[in-house]
Structure 1
Amino acid sequence: MNESRFTLDNRLPDDYFTSSLHRDVLHGLSASPRALPPKWFYDKRGSDLFEQITRLPEYYPTRAEQEILTSRAPEIAALSRAATLIELGSGSSRKTRLLLDALTGGGTLRRYAPLDVSAAALEEAGQAICRDYPGLRVTATVADFESELAVSEPSAPSQPSGEPSEERGPRLLAFLGSTIGNFDPGQRAAFYRTLSGALSGDDMLLLGADLVKDPKVLVRAYDDAAGVTAEFNKNVLHVLNRELGADFDPDGFDHVAVWNTEDERIEMRLRARAAQTAKISDLGLTVDFAAGEDLRTEISCKFRRDSLTAELRDNGFTLQQWWTDPAARFALLLATPN
């Protein structure tokens, strides 16, 4: 039965979404320049829009990472010998199935441990994986990995004979999709150090990283011709209107994607078309935008091999393997904690 092999541990407080949204909006809209973290894109509508983005011709990262996983998953399985696959920000766990196939085919995997803020996504994906991988135990955790990294081993269940199951062994922690690019250098350093401290010498980190390339290619990936990314970007205003009683006019802002040459990152912004005022009633906050003023909604850092290797080394990891897709657009790397 799926129920006996699937568990869902909700570690978020009851007021998590309300309190963290209030905190992020108060801080971000009072700052100069104004900015919001990208996690607030992802209500149901935002998640659906992002799924559309991943299928757009301009948006190469999802396809490029999948190309690497398709060709390298057996090698990753052989190198990691993972008994547990932990995935941060797993969402629907779609690409993860390439790793699950390779690890179960290699005979080592006993447990899949996805971590995400969406209980609904974890429940749906976890039950499907239990159905499709009969020998696998799924221990899902509802948590915000930016504030709590829940990667400890669960207590092992008993088999019908009364003997404990053998789930102890190397762990592979996957952080895919170049989500690491949403962190600035200081946030990445703290994140790596936390990961390094949570993993043992037998464990491995599998990290997806989008690479520096022609700025025109990068900008097109975040500003598609069909306007899907523009709708995705403006969705954060719909979220604020619904959740905080705000009165933003999404049509009063233009979607802008900018290549920041100095920091080697794409910045998504919402630019006020004209001077305007937004009221956020739940926070008692009034925000004035000048014509042409930007609200930054996402950074997406791009990486080079030498600097990313050094960044990992300085914060507790040693690079073991580096793979790219045939066009060298995207990298997937294996690293071990020092």
Structure 2
Amino acid sequence: MIEQFAKSVDIGLSKPEKTLPSKYFYDKNGDALFVEIMNMPEYYLTRCEMEIFSTQTAALIESFQADKNTYFELIELGAGDGTKTSKLLEALSTEGYQFDYLPVDISKNSLDQLQTSLEQSLPDVSVIPKHGDYFEMLGSIKDSHHPKVVLFLGSNIGNMTDAVASDFLYQLGANLSKGDKLLLGTDLIKSADIVLPAYNDKKGITSEFNINLLHRMNAELGASFDPDEFVHAPEYCIDEGIAKSYLLSARKQSVEIEATGKTYHFKEGEKIHTEISRKYNDDILSKILAKTDFEITQKFTDQNNYFADYLLSRN
């Protein structure tokens, strides 16, 4: 993991327009900070999707077209703390569906906490955690030949460019069989006064989350970042429909990283692009799905129409 981390950082910081991979936000401290972010008043995404899962649980389950007499696998990519999914798990268990819940996450810490929590709150639900990369884990269960329902929630798909998202969904479909389902959580396009505060909250938790990536590189890669010399700088344009997070260098400075054996130079005001959060509508998603094996069969939205969970079927 450290070797790949170092390689990814080196590639990103060696570009003319510097980048860092957002997947490395999630160490133990990053996990805890993201839980705080999800509970912020400004971060509407979690509340909106929770509303869908809480008020439309029966409709979601019906959309899966699962047979109570046929075992299926419920696979969640990037499961996190599983708060929303627990609503679904409880209903499926209560109604007598036969299934295993397979949460997949790159964070072992998140998986351990999720498994412990579900063992206490839903002891009748079979939980089989899968630690690692999405496709590596999907590949390991590809040949099970059981029906599958995949959850990819929280608008995690929005952390990808449209081209990468299209390829991701194509590869995901390649690991599934005809008739399998994907429930895809997406943040819908809205005005900047609603979107931007979700990435720039008043308490500065999002800033701390972004800057935690520098602390992680210092601890794990032997980097010499001074986190106080970088500023969290989010941007959002409704016409583009993409929120972007940057770390901005407050002064001209150089940073050494032992794990790469290199020194990286920053100009005053130079930005490191750390994350995107794509916002969607039906047209955007349809274009992304055009070269995949999925088609939209249903759409669930919150009462404000801020967020949508699309039910996709594998052709």
Could you say which TM-score interval applies, normalised by the shorter chain? over 0.9
Partner of 1:45: 29
> After superposition, where does 1:240-279 map in structure 2 within 5 Å?
240-260=217-237, 263-279=240-256
From 73, 84, 93, the counterpart of 1:104: 93
The alpha carbon displacement at 1:41 in A equals: 1.3
> After superposition, where does 1:17-32 map in structure 2 within 5 Å?
17-32=1-16
TM-score normalised over the length of structure 1: 0.87
Measured in 1, the distance between the counterparts of 2:138 and 2:18 equals 28
The one-letter amino acid paired with 2:90 is: D
The alpha carbon displacement at 1:107 in A equals: 2.1
CA 1:260/1:288 → structure 2, altered by over 3 Å: closer, same or farther? farther
Q: Answer yes or no: is the 8 Å Cα contact 1:81–1:170 preserved in 2.
A: no
> After superposition, where does 1:289-300 map in structure 2 within 5 Å?
289-300=266-277
Measured in 1, the distance between the counterparts of 2:136 and 2:188 equals 26
The one-letter amino acid paired with 1:269 is: Y
Measured in 2, the distance between the counterparts of 1:67 and 1:329 equals 11
Partner of 2:281: 304
Partner of 1:158: none
Partner of 2:69: none
> After superposition, where does 1:72-91 map in structure 2 within 5 Å?
72-82=56-66, 83-91=72-80
The one-letter amino acid paired with 2:205 is: V
RMSD: 1.8
Task: Show structure 2 runs of 5+ residues with no match.
Answer: 67-71
Task: Note if 1:180 corresponds to 2:164.
Answer: no
The alpha carbon displacement at 1:314 in A equals: 2.8
TM-score normalised over the length of structure 2: 0.93
Identity of aligned residues (%): 37
Aligned length: 310
Q: Answer yes or no: is the 8 Å Cα contact 2:73–2:149 preserved in 1.
A: yes
CA 1:234/1:38 → structure 2, altered by over 3 Å: closer, same or farther? same
Q: Answer yes or no: is the 8 Å Cα contact 1:268–1:297 preserved in 2.
A: yes
Q: Answer yes or no: is the 8 Å Cα contact 2:236–2:242 preserved in 1.
A: yes
Partner of 1:225: 202
Q: Answer yes or no: is the 8 Å Cα contact 1:77–1:106 preserved in 2.
A: no
Task: Note if 1:171 corresponds to 2:148.
Answer: yes
CA 1:241/1:199 → structure 2, altered by over 3 Å: closer, same or farther? same
CA 1:182/1:204 → structure 2, altered by over 3 Å: closer, same or farther? same
From 179, 185, 189, the counterpart of 2:166: 189
Task: Note if 1:314 corresponds to 2:291.
Answer: yes
1:64-98 alpha-carbon deviations (Å, 9 max, x no partner): 11001111221111221442210001122221101
Partner of 2:312: 335
The answer to which of 114-123 and 174-183 deviates more is: 114-123
Measured in 2, the distance between the counterparts of 1:120 and 1:294 equals 30
CA 1:154/1:106 → structure 2, altered by over 3 Å: closer, same or farther? farther
The answer to which of 295-304 and 195-204 deviates more is: 195-204
Tell me the SS of whatever aligns to 1:282: coil
Tell me the SS of whatever aligns to 2:259: helix
Measured in 2, the distance between the counterparts of 1:207 and 1:335 equals 7
Task: Note if 1:216 corresponds to 2:193.
Answer: yes
Measured in 2, the distance between the counterparts of 1:134 and 1:334 equals 28
1:282-323 alpha-carbon deviations (Å, 9 max, x no partner): 211111111110001111111111221232243111101111
The one-letter amino acid paired with 2:263 is: T
Tell me the SS of whatever aligns to 1:34: coil
The answer to which of 110-119 and 74-83 deviates more is: 74-83
Question: Which segments of structure 1 move beyond 6 Å, counting only runs of 4 or more?
Answer: none
